[in-house]
Chain A
Amino acid sequence: MSTPYAKLPAWADYGLIPLINLAVAFLVAGLVVLLVGESPVQAATLLLKGAFGSGAGIGYTLYYATSFIFTGLAVAVAFHCGLFNIGGEGQAYIGGLGVAIVCLSFDGVFPWWINFPLAILGSAAIGAFWAMIPAILQAKRGSHIVITTIMFNFIAASLMVYLLVGPLKPMNSMAPQTRTFAQDAWLPKLDWLLELFGATIRSTPLNLSFLLALVMAVVVWVLIWRTKLGYEIRTYGFSPKAAKYAGIGEARIIVVTMMISGALAGMMALNPVMGDQHRLQLDFVTGAGFVGIAVALMGRSHPAGIVPAAILFGMLYQGGAEISFVMPNISRDMIVIIQGLVILFAGALEHMFRPSLQAVLASLAPKSMGMSATKREGA
């Protein structure tokens, strides 16, 4: 009787519970909309229409989702190791430096399809480096990684401000940003992908890095569940004592996992910098690193959950912009509220509905439930 509650079937664990948590988050958000004097139903309609009602809407939704997939995967990989990487924001920001260095150096030299892999390497390497320092501090000195990664967000921000008003700013420019890259350092747009779905297209920022994000989701799945390293990461994440017993070096696994996490966060920069703005700007991350935490929580740290969760948040970002456009009472901060509610219900209150759902399911279909092993074995 070590587990007081019977196990939930997978569809309920991974499907129903996140949906219930999400529904409650939206209900509460609806109440907030009601409080500011607008109609929640109309707001929800605007949200959905804005996000999926047009080809451009879909394009923007997926563009935002691309960033969230990268940062969500980054947080998830660290979660599997029992580490809470709050530094995705800073790692992504500094990852932009890697993209910019490659693009500024090689635009006009190489075609995009050579610049792209170089920029992937650059962003991943710098992101990994930025996560490596807190990881080493955790592994060797016991400095808590939550604290250090938050602090590294601020260091990243200050460093980028310095670089963008100084060394990286072109002469005679007033704006804190690099020069625009030449066209051969631009990622191809994915308008053709949207046209496949019959969308009539105005230009959207959706670009090739969306496909890279999907590839990375598969890569992360393989890494976590099909490689020796992933096995070691999960062992350490579930039980550091068992990892030690199994001869898995604590310092090595923490540092390697955080570097992978940082690399994934760093790659997020490809999407806005190389795919859309074609220059490095101040604050281009705009909170995607933090949204990644919500995405990873909602997606239960599984790539198959992270991709839809990222698209959901892409929808909130894009549709939320529509709402604030039509309903001036509702600012874009509404999205931050919903985001916070999702984190609250999907993360912090994860177990709130579980016991009652288990009781309901148990009474509905006793046989389909995970009976305890000893019972199933029979007398």
Chain B
Amino acid sequence: MAPAAIELKGINKSFGAVHANRDIHIEIPKGTIHGIIGENGAGKSTLMSILYGFYQADSGEIFVDGGKAEIRTPNDAIAAGIGMVHQHFMLVENFTVLENIILGAEGSQLLNAGIARARSELHRLEKDYGLEVDPDAVIEELAVGLQQRVEILKALYRGAEILILDEPTGVLTPAEADHLFRILRMLKDEGKTVVLITHKLREIMAVTDNVSVMRQGTIVATRRTAETTVEELAELMVGRRVLLRVDKGEPNPAAVKLSVKGLTVKDSRGVTMVDGVSFDVRAGEIVGIAGVAGNGQSELIETIAGIRKAISGSVLLDGTPIDVTGAADPGELRDRGLAHVPEDRHHVGLVLPFEENENSMLGYHDDPKFLKGPFLNIDAIRADAREKIRTYDIRPADCRLKTANFSGGNQQKIVLAREMEHDPGVLIVGQPTRGVDVGAIEFIHKQLIAMRDRGKAVLLVSVELDEIRSLSDRILVMFDGRVVGERGPDATEGELGLLMAGVEAREAAE
């Protein structure tokens, strides 16, 4: 049997007292696609960073193709034939594809020779792997899926035999993701080895040969993908049984709570991000907005929540206008019963250096129950925080702990608890489960359904199509700042995917 493409033996890595990787053993056979799955903070990224030379393991050995490899820097990794495609692309936006590909591998002081060599090499790679990209296109003009292809080409150009992809589908439409998987299979057929890091179980099932599950810094299991199930993997990831389906009854839509008409928003560069969007959200329903990240969903909900200014259009909350083009203020909207769980909880929804109890009142700090005149009523604030910790099962149950020390899921629960407990009439939720572990996802989904069943209007924005489909009573699809279609919760993934990719609604129906 041929030696494994990668073999890790007893890898340990600690950051201070945090044991990020604990005695990791992994063997990845040559010419396979190997999935590494785990919750946020399980140690996947640390492990891959060690493999790619960003970090040094405290102990343990790495073998590449049977030979012991000393990987101290990314250059060592590249020399050993390991290439990495990062979650956030490392491309120079205003360079062409070719220029990006030779960056760091120019070969000589003068660029022309290198570029010529790269051009012919690129041509060969395109033919072999179906990785078609215009070599002279400027990166910022390429779609995200194509940019990712450039990253893959970059790695292959440097002679990568082993390709690591870190959460590659986060920014892709379902169709683009399918295309990526086709490319990965083609790479595999050519004898390359692919390591796919993800938290999406579906992708693991779709494309990998083997899968390793990480939990709390250790590999808890390695399975042949064909012999495992989504349920088993989810259970291994979380360490207990998880309900993957969302149970919910029929919606009871009542009066219109939130009405958006012709809303147009531009970003700071003057680019139109939201373009004449109109829709209603009724009490007792969840309206989901689907779309690939960056198609105006973020700007839309920020504008409704009063953080961003609109150019034109109107928003009615309970029939009364919100001054979206002028002085709308998040504080005032909160008083009127509009709560907002922002997409970016790290910088917007929470102040990470604060103690938990301080975040537990963020935005509601004008509430007299938290104050004694100009002074904070510390006892009342902490009692309230402890109450929310109990109701929402926030762990660890310590309201004096710094918020940064909570896991992603528990941080999100802090935000949800705060926004829901003030009993708003309208709840706007952005990416409620981004970076949240599977166990907490279940809880958060239940809470959102419970809000709906209490007769609240919920507007949900998520790039996770599964989440939109399982929670929403109506689905709006946004593309390029416009709502390009409305579907029921039974819409198929393919149908929504076409809409998300900007294919006209008529074509999608055919």
Contacts and interface: CB of A to CB of B under 8 A. Distances in A.
Contacts of B388: none
Contact of B354 (A4, A228, A234, A249): A234
Contacts of B332: 247
A337 interface: no
Interface in A279-300: none
Nearest to B215: A379
Nearest to B19: A375
A348 interface: no
Contacts of B16: 5-7, 358-359, 362, 369
Given A6-B18, A370-B405, A245 B374 contact: no
Nearest to A371: B17
Nearest to A365: B17
A158 interface: no
Interface in A302-339: none
B347 A247 contact: no
Contact of B216 (A226, A245, A246, A379): A379
Q: Give the residue among A222, A229, A245 with the most B Cβ atoms within 10 A.
A: A245
A373 B410 contact: yes
Contacts of A248: 331
Nearest to A230: B376
Interface in A84-111: none
A6 B331 CA distance: 35
Interface in A245-261: 245-249
Interface in A232-272: 232, 234-235, 238-239, 241-242, 244-249
Interface in A145-185: none
Contacts of B348: 239, 241-242, 244-245
Interface residues of A, number: 41
B351 A235 contact: yes
Given A238-B351, A373-B405, A226 B376 contact: yes
Nearest to A379: B239
Contacts of A371: 17-18
B378 A242 contact: no
Contacts of A54: none
Given A6-B17, A379-B216, A245 B410 contact: no
A245 B14 CA distance: 36
B371 interface: yes
Interface in B145-178: none
B347 A244 contact: no
B353 A1 contact: no
A280 B348 CA distance: 48
A229 B46 CA distance: 40
A228 B362 contact: no
Given A234-B354, A245-B307, A374 B375 contact: no
B461 interface: no
Contact of B349 (A6, A245, A376): A245
B347 A241 contact: yes
Nearest to A8: B16
Contacts of A376: 396
B378 A235 contact: no
A3 B371 CA distance: 33
B404 interface: yes
Interface in B1-55: 14-20, 41, 43, 45-46
Interface in A197-236: 222, 226-232, 234-235
A242 B347 contact: yes
Q: Give the residue among B16, B215, B354, B374 with the most A Cβ atoms within 10 A.
A: B16
B365 interface: yes
A1 B48 CA distance: 13
A227 B405 contact: no
A369 B17 CA distance: 7
Given A227-B376, A373-B401, A374-B216, A245 B17 contact: no
A3 B216 contact: no
A370 B401 CA distance: 10
Given A235-B362, A242-B347, A247-B331, A372 B18 contact: yes
Contacts of A230: 376
Contacts, number: 122
Contacts of B376: 226-228, 230-231
Nearest to B335: A247
Nearest to B302: A245
Contact of B375 (A2, A5, A228): A228
A63 B152 CA distance: 67
A242 B350 contact: yes
B257 interface: no
Interface in A332-379: 358-359, 362, 366, 369-377, 379
Contact of A231 (B19, B45, B358, B406): B358
A6 B14 CA distance: 9
Contacts of A246: 330-331, 362-363, 365
B45 to A, nearest CB: 7
Contacts of B46: 1
Nearest to A222: B375
B353 A247 contact: no
Given A235-B362, A246-B365, A373 B406 contact: yes
B404 A3 contact: yes
Nearest to A4: B15
Contacts of B354: 234-235, 238
A369 B407 CA distance: 17
B200 interface: no
B334 interface: yes
B340 interface: yes
Contacts of A362: 14, 16-17
B378 A226 contact: yes
A245 B375 CA distance: 22
B20 A1 contact: yes
Contacts of B353: 238
Contacts of B363: 245-247
A222 B375 CA distance: 9
Contacts of B349: 242, 245
A294 to B, nearest CB: 23
B351 A375 contact: no
A358 B396 CA distance: 23
Given A245-B342, A246-B330, A373-B401, 4 more contacts: A228-B366, A238-B353, A247-B329, A373-B405
Interface of A: 1-7, 222, 226-232, 234-235, 238-239, 241-242, 244-249, 358-359, 362, 366, 369-377, 379
28 contacts: A2-B404, A3-B404, A6-B16, A226-B378, A228-B371, A228-B375, A231-B358, A234-B354, A239-B347, A239-B351, A241-B344, A242-B347, A242-B349, A242-B351, A242-B362, A244-B330, A245-B330, A245-B342, A245-B348, A245-B363, A246-B363, A247-B329, A247-B330, A247-B332, A370-B405, A371-B17, A372-B405, A379-B215
Identify the 5 closest CB pairs spanning chains A and B, nearest first: A247-B331, A6-B16, A246-B363, A369-B17, A247-B330
